[in-house]
Chains A and B, each alone.
Chain A
Amino acid sequence: DAGVIQSPRHEVTEMGQEVTLRCKPISGHNSLFWYRQTMMRGLELLIYFNNNVPIDDSGMPEDRFSAKMPNASFSTLKIQPSEPRDSAVYFCASTWDRIGLNTEAFFGQGTRLTVV
């Protein structure tokens, strides 16, 4: 398996522009996480999907952030409008969840976002 695939790997955009980050989870996995990593705040969970349904989006910073999972093989994280403070590495991770088990998540390579 190719693992979790994120695109783009690097994104530089101007403040105010829309940014879309993409994630393809591992085939067969049914849960997906989006994380943001910064020096100041560490690894923050933004949103968690199970079977394409958002289960916990309490970590989404504000209305400028939105995430979708239209099917089991694709998810997007959109920031509109982007701000310099959104600069971070964004990770997507997926896992195969089974009832009663707490399984490990496998991470993509991350997208390094710079908003200037």
Chain B
Amino acid sequence: AQKITQTQPGMFVQEKEAVTLDCTYDTSDPSYGLFWYKQPSSGEMIFLIYQGSYDQQNATEGRYSLNFQKARKSANLVISASQLGDSAMYFCAMREGGNDMRFGAGTRLTVKP
């Protein structure tokens, strides 16, 4: 069974600094996708970034980038130039073989002014 681990229940970062949120995963399927979602206090789930297992380059979307280390089975989210609006819960998720999507426990990020 696939498994997603987020070991940081909470993280703090100073505004305008960069922050890395950790995610490790476990799968034996060679084809899988890794995703990050943001959940602000209002409750909606917002898709941020995707990395495919066969992608050669790390994914980037604006201030978000994914540090994908396949051999270590890690897919850390890097947020550059943090903003107050980045304060939220962040979830890592995985799909393997185009099947269901399962989530980690999440990391609560707080950006300090």
A interacts with B = yes
Chain A residues at the B interface, C-beta cutoff of 8 Å: 33, 35, 42-43, 45, 48, 55-56, 89, 91, 93, 97-107, 109-110, 112
Looking at chain A's contact residues, is the secondary structure mostly helix, strand, loop, or mixed?
strand
CB of B47 within 8 A of chain A? yes
Q: At the interface with chain A, which of B17-25, B62-70, B79-87, B93-101?
A: B93-101
- A55 x B43 contact (CB < 8 A): no
Chain B residues at the A interface, C-beta cutoff of 8 Å: 31-33, 35, 37, 43-47, 50, 52-53, 91, 95-106
- A107 x B44 contact (CB < 8 A): yes
Q: Give complex CA distance A33, B32 in Å.
A: 17
Q: How far is the CB of A92 from chain B (nearest CB, A)?
A: 11
- A107 x B45 contact (CB < 8 A): yes
Q: Give complex CA distance A99, B99 in Å.
A: 10
- B100 x A100 contact (CB < 8 A): no
| Given A93-B45, A106-B47, A109-B44, A101 contacting B101 (CB threshold 8 A) | no
* Chain A: CB-nearest residue to B32: A102
Q: Of residues A103, A104, A106, A109, which shows the largest number of chain B Cβ atoms within 10 Å of its Cβ?
A: A104
- B105 x A42 contact (CB < 8 A): yes
Q: A48-B99, A55-B100, A112-B43 are in contact. List 11 more A-B contacts (CB 8 A).
A: A35-B103, A42-B104, A45-B100, A56-B99, A98-B98, A99-B98, A101-B33, A104-B33, A104-B47, A106-B47, A107-B45
Q: How far is the CB of B6 from chain A (nearest CB, A)?
A: 10
- B103 x A102 contact (CB < 8 A): no
- B43 x A42 contact (CB < 8 A): no
- Which residues from B are CB-within-8-Å of A106? 47
Q: Of residues B35, B43, B97, which shows the largest number of chain A Cβ atoms within 10 Å of its Cβ?
A: B43
- B95 x A42 contact (CB < 8 A): no
- Which residues from B are CB-within-8-Å of A89? 43
Q: How far is the CB of A103 from chain B (nearest CB, A)?
A: 7
- Which residues from A are CB-within-8-Å of B35? 104-105
Q: Give complex CA distance A91, B91 in Å.
A: 14
